[in-house]
Amino acid sequence: MLKQRTIKNPIRARGVGLHTGHHGLMTMRPAPVNTGIVFRRVDLDPVIEIHVNPNAVTETVLCTTLSQDEAKISTVEHLMSALAGFGIDNLYIDLDTDEVPIMDGSASHFIFLLQSAGIADQEADKRFIRIKKTIRIETEKGDWAQFEPYEGFKLSFSIDFDHPAFDETANHIVIDFSSTSYLKEISRARTFGFMKDVEALRKRNLALGGSLENAIVLDENGVMNPEGLRNQDEFVRHKVLDAVGDLYMIGSGIVGAFSAYRSGHALNNKLLRSLLSQPDAWEYTSISDLAGAISYEENPGAIS
Binned at pLDDT 50, 70 and 90, residue 304 comes out as very low
Tell me the CA distances in angstroms from 291 to 32, 83, 174, 226, one per residue in order: 26, 21, 21, 44
Question: For the segment 82-96, what is each residue's pLDDT rounded down to a tens digit?
Answer: 999 999 999 999 999
Question: For the segment 98-143, what is each residue's pLDDT rounded down to a tens digit?
Answer: 999 999 999 999 999 999 999 999 999 999 999 999 999 999 999 9
Percent of the chain whose predicted confidence (pLDDT) is above 70: 94
Taking residues 188-217, what's their average pLDDT?
A: 93
What is the fold of 3-125? Ribosomal Protein S5; domain 2 (3.30.230)
Question: For the segment 55-67, what is each residue's pLDDT rounded down to a tens digit?
Answer: 999 999 999 999 9
pTM of the model: 0.94
Q: Active-site residue 265, yes or no?
A: yes
Percent of the chain whose predicted confidence (pLDDT) is above 90: 87
Helix, strand and coil percent figures for the chain, each rounded to 5: 25, 30, 45
How far is it, in rounded angstroms, from Cα 156 to Cα 223? 25
Question: For the segment 220-242, what is each residue's pLDDT rounded down to a tens digit?
Answer: 989 999 999 999 999 999 999 99
Domains of the chain, residue spans:
3-125, 128-285
The whole-number pLDDT of residue 172 equals 97
Q: What is the distance between the terminal CA atoms of the chain, rounded to a whole angstrom?
A: 29
The whole-number pLDDT of residue 299 equals 46
Q: Does domain 128-285 have CATH number 3.30.70.3000?
A: no
How far is it, in rounded angstroms, from Cα 245 to Cα 54? 12
How far is it, in rounded angstroms, from Cα 189 to Cα 237? 6
Binned at pLDDT 50, 70 and 90, residue 287 comes out as low
Same CATH fold assignment for domains 3-125 and 128-285: no
- Reduced to 3 states (helix: H, G, I; strand: E, B; else coil), residue 119 is strand
296 has pLDDT over 80: no
Query: Could you count the other beta carbons within 10 Å of the beta carbon of residue 32?
Result: 12
How far is it, in rounded angstroms, from Cα 88 to Cα 141? 35
Element (DSSP H or E) covering residue 71: strand 71-73
